Amino acid sequence: MTEKPTPTTSRTSDPPFIAESAEVAPAARIGARTRIWHHSQVDADVRIGEDCVLGKGVHVASAAVIGNLVKIQDGCGVFGATLEDGVMLAPGVYLLEDPAPRAVNPSGHLKGRNDWRREPVTIRYGATIGANSVIAPGVTIGRYALVGIGSVVGHDVPDHGLVMGNPARQLGWSCMCGHRLNDNLTCPTCGRLYHQRPYGLSLAT
C-alpha cells in the first residue's frame, strides 16, 4: 500500500479563481483550478500549485512555495514556507521565518529587507496544522503529521507524529486518514498498520 495517492489528471487549461477583493500580485504563479477567496493577499515571489484553496484573509509572502491540493483556511499567514502537496492549514495558523525578529537593527535604524535572516518552515506531504497554531522558523513538519489546535511548535515533528501544546510535545502518532493510532501502531478507524522508522512511521508492507 502506498502512502501517496496517485494524483488525478491535470487540466492545466482551467484558470484559477481569484475573488475580486483578493490582492494577488501579477507576477505570482497560481496553478490551475486554485481558488483564492476574499481579502487574501499573495505576493509577487510566491508560487502556488493546482487545485488549492486559500480562504478569507490569507497572506502568503516571502517566496513561499505551495504544492498541489493544499487547503489554507481563513486568516492564515504563510511567510517563506514550503508546503508540499496535500497539506492542510486550519484557520489562524502562522508559519514564521524570522528567528530573531526586531523592528530596528543594533544601530537604531529601522530594519530593511536586507537585514532579515530567513529560516523558512517546511510542511511535508499530507500534514495538518490545527487551528491557531504557530510554527517557529526553521521547523520541519513530517509527512502526515498532525499538530493539535493552538500549539506552538519549536522543533521538528517526525512523519505521522501527533503533537500538541505550548510548547508542543509528541503525544502519539496519526494515521493517513487523520485518526490517532493505538499502542500497536494500528489505526482503529481504517485498520492501517505502521512500523517505526528513524524518521517516524511508515506503512507496514
Helix, strand, or coil (residue 116): coil
Whole domain around residue 35: which residue ranges?
A: 13-100+116-175
What is the domain count for the chain? 1
For residue 93, the domain's CATH number is 2.160.10.10
In a domain, 204, yes or no: no
pLDDT for 20 equals: 98
Residue owning grid cell 508542543: 168
Residues whose CB falls within 8 Å of the CB of residue 25, separated by 6 or more in sequence, listed in order: 42, 43, 44, 46
For 24-68, what is each residue's pLDDT tens digit? Answer: 999 999 999 999 999 999 999 999 999 999 999 999 999 999 999
Q: What cell was used for 163?
A: 503533537
pLDDT for 9 equals: 35
In a domain, 121, yes or no: yes
In a domain, 93, yes or no: yes
pLDDT for 116 equals: 84
Distance CA 168, CA 130 (A): 12
For 61-116, what is each residue's pLDDT tens digit? Answer: 999 999 999 999 999 999 999 999 999 999 999 999 999 999 999 999 999 888 88
In a domain, 155, yes or no: yes
In a domain, 196, yes or no: no
- pTM (predicted TM-score): 0.93
CB < 8 Å & 24+ apart, contacts of 196-205: 197/159, 199/142, 199/158, 199/159, 200/142, 200/143, 200/145, 200/158, 200/159, 200/160, 200/161, 200/173, 201/158, 201/159, 201/160, 201/173, 202/3, 202/159, 203/1, 203/2, 203/3, 203/176, 205/1
In a domain, 186, yes or no: no
Place 179 in a pLDDT band, splitting at 50, 70 and 90: very high
Beta bridge partners, 72, equal 54, 89
pLDDT for 3 equals: 54
In a domain, 139, yes or no: yes
In a domain, 134, yes or no: yes
Distance CA 87, CA 66 (A): 9
For 109-148, what is each residue's pLDDT tens digit? Answer: 999 888 888 999 999 999 999 999 999 999 999 999 999 9
